[in-house]
Every structure is written in C-alpha cells, then in structure tokens.
Amino acid sequence: MKQVYLDNAATTAIREEVITAMAAVMHSNFGNASSSHSFGRSAKAIIEKSRKAIASYLNVSAGEIVFTSGGTEADNLILRSAVRDLGVEEIITTKIEHHAVLNTLEQLQKEYNLSVQYLKLEADGSINTAQLESLLANSNKKQLVSLMHINNEIGNLLNIEQVAIMCKTYGAFIHTDAVQSVGHYKLDLQEIQVDFLAASAHKFHGPKGVGFAFIRKNSGLKPIIFGGEQERGLRAGTESIHNIVGLEVALKLAYENLEKETEYIKGLKQYFIEKIKNNIPNVFFNGASENLESSSYTMVNVRLPIPASKAAMILFQLDLKGIACSKGSACQSGSNQVSHVLFEILNDDDLKKPSLRFSFSIYNTTEDIDYVISVLKEMCD
C-alpha cells in the first residue's frame, strides 16, 4: 500500500545527516558537561559550539540561547517567569495559540492575579491590530504580548516585526511561539525585536525532545526547573548532548538549503491547492491557508463538502489508505474534540464538516499529492 506522510506540522522525519551526527556524539562523547575532567570538558565544548552556531542563525549572542526539551518547556519557562519574576500583570494573546501557551496562562491565572486579554480575530483568523494597539495604549499594567508567528493549524503568518515594534512603542514585553517558523523562515532577531521566542528541533527535521528558548540578554527571567547550574542557571538538568548536536545540524541544513527547499515546498502547496480545487470544487480553505503570502508555505487547512455522518471516521479511512494528515494539532488529533482554532473562526454548520490539515516537507512529491487528491475525491463523490 502507498504510504504518504502529509503531517509535517506535527513532526518531521529526521535528516540522515542529523542521525549520523547524533550517532557520532553518542558513540564518542558520553561525558557529563558539568564534569571537570577531559570527558566533561569535551562534552561542554560540543554544547557551546552548537549554542554559538544556533545563535548565529538568529543573529543573537550565544548567551541568549537556552536549551530545553522543546517548545512547550520554552513557552512555560518564558511565560511563568515573566509573571513570577518580571512582574507581568497582563498578558495579551489569542484563543488560537498552541495549548502550550493557552494552558500555561490558564494555570498562571489560578496562581497569580493575572489578567489575560484575548484579541478578537478576523474571519480568516488574523488578529485585530487596532485592538492590540488600544489594549497596549490604555493599560497601566505591566504587559506581555504572546502571539505565535505561524499558527500550527491554519498556517496564518503573523507580521511579527510590526507587532514587536508596537509592543516596544508601549513598553510591553513580546514573546512568540515560533515552533512552526524557526528553520522554515529566516529570523533576524536584531531586526525583529522580540524579547522571547520558543523553538523545537523536530519541526525542522531534527530530533524530538530538544528545543530552545531565546531570552534576550538582561531580561531578568529565572528558572522554573531547579537543580544544577546548567544553562547559565536557567535550566537545570544534565544536557542531552546528542540531541543538542542534532538540533544544531538540523538548523544548519535548514538554513543552508532554505531558498531551494522553500521554493520546492511552496510549489507542492500550490500544486495541492490547484489539484484539490479542480477535483473538489466546493472545497473551502480555513484561515488564510490558501494565500501563499499570508500563510506558511508548509501547510494548508481544507474543509471538505462531506456531511457530518459520512465524515466521522475520515482520518481512520485516510489512514487505511496509507495517508497521514490531521484534523488539528497532533496534541488533539487523538480526541473527538473540535479544534479550538477552528472553533474560534467557523460557524456551527461549518464546524460539522470535516476540516483537515495537510503539511508538506522536502520528502513529499507531486505524486503523493495526486494520490491524496484521488482518495479525497472518491470520499467526496
């Protein structure tokens, strides 16, 4: 049976070069980076080399990169410490953020006297910038804005440069969950004045279980995990050297091949859009995902003209045909709950129709898309 993986927004296949680099470290560099002997010093040198390389791709200093277990931990570290240690009293966000942000804010509201303001959304899921400016201009509270750079379900691309300028104008901190954009878009953090950023290696063909937080120098954040003094005291725990190297190599390859691979994947998305429109005329695109300028080139979210009764088992039916995609984020796709993102932008009737997220990578082909469209067409007939 043909196997087609179009769920790259959930996770990506690890590049062979990354696996090779990780295996070499696991074989030869098993020392604890906190040990003072030669094995430890060798491990420490590898970590710091990786940190410096990663920082260079974002145009920041090495000391501003803190290794974590992934994007979720990075979001938690940033948001929790901002409230607890920086005195943030109000956070401005949206109801379509990743649950790593939404659930953290919900918990922080229980623990602290924290105000959370949710921005209104346009019909395509984009933020209301006029409301954002009004909330920033008319508050006497210490504020932080937390908005994801690319929405992980509908692919909407935020003008993060504009939002960062607005936040700086009114003296607010800004954090962005950039899990879907690091490794896919060039981010110069000297030009983009965010204070904090979260990233995860497995979204750009690196290993799972490792990511980083960008924390701008002298921000005042403090750890949420306590123990040793690793990561300059910001993240206790023995470092996973092979994963850190895997992260570095994956990011290096992503940015070395960015232009060529972006063009290829963008072509796949364009091809998918044209094929599905030609074969399923009543298909609808959720959010801004049809727009190649306003959404990520890596994903598209489609709503199919299938009645709810026929659509209940659509993911299972696709899986039987060897097709991997998702109804929402991977964190939710195992449940029957409606996507919290689509819930905010679709009406009740549209929510009853099946919406699917297809996300592309360098390992996909037009032949993959032809097969997927043929299966979807059969389901819609």
Domain C-terminal end among 256, 273, 299? 256
Identify whether residues 365 and 242 lie together within a single domain: no
Distance in angstroms between the alpha carbons of the first and the last residue of the chain: 22
How far apart CA 1 and CA 181 sit, in angstroms, is 33
pTM of the entire predicted model: 0.95
Identify whether residues 77 and 225 lie together within a single domain: yes
Q: Does residue 380 have an active-site annotation?
A: no
| Confidence at residue 333, expressed as pLDDT on a 0 to 100 scale | 45
Tokens of 226: 């306590």
Longest dimension (CA), the chain: 68
Within its chain, how far is the Cα of 271 from the centroid? 24
Identify whether residues 355 and 268 lie together within a single domain: yes
Q: Which amino acid belongs to residue 275?
A: K
Identify whether residues 360 and 213 lie together within a single domain: no
Question: Which residue is catalytic, options 167, 325, 331, 380?
Answer: 331
Mean pLDDT of residues grouped by 10 in the chain (381 residues)? Answer: 96 98 96 96 97 98 98 98 98 98 98 97 96 97 98 98 98 98 98 98 98 97 96 96 98 98 98 98 96 97 87 90 82 64 94 94 98 95 83
Identify whether residues 231 and 176 lie together within a single domain: yes
Residue span of the structural domain in which 135 resides: 16-256
Residue 248 is given by DSSP the state: H
Residue 376, domain CATH: 3.90.1150.10
Residue 22, domain CATH: 3.40.640.10
How far apart CA 338 and CA 336 sit, in angstroms, is 7
Q: Which amino acid belongs to residue 339?
A: S
How far apart CA 190 and CA 322 sit, in angstroms, is 44
Task: Using DSSP, state whether 115 is helix, strand or coil.
Answer: strand
Tokens 């490792």, located at residue: 210
List, as one string, the DSSP characters of 269-324.
HHHHHHHHHHH-TT-EE-TTTT-TTTB-TTEEEEE-S--HHHHTTHHHHHHHTTEE
Identify whether residues 20 and 8 lie together within a single domain: no
Domain C-terminal end among 213, 238, 256? 256
pLDDT, one tens digit per residue, over 292-310 is: 999 999 999 999 998 777 7
Tokens of 57: 């791709």
The total of structural domains in the chain comes to 2
Identify whether residues 216 and 364 lie together within a single domain: no
pLDDT, one tens digit per residue, over 126-155 is: 999 999 999 999 999 999 999 999 999 999
CB within 8 Å of 367: residues ≥ 6 apart: none
| Confidence at residue 332, expressed as pLDDT on a 0 to 100 scale | 45
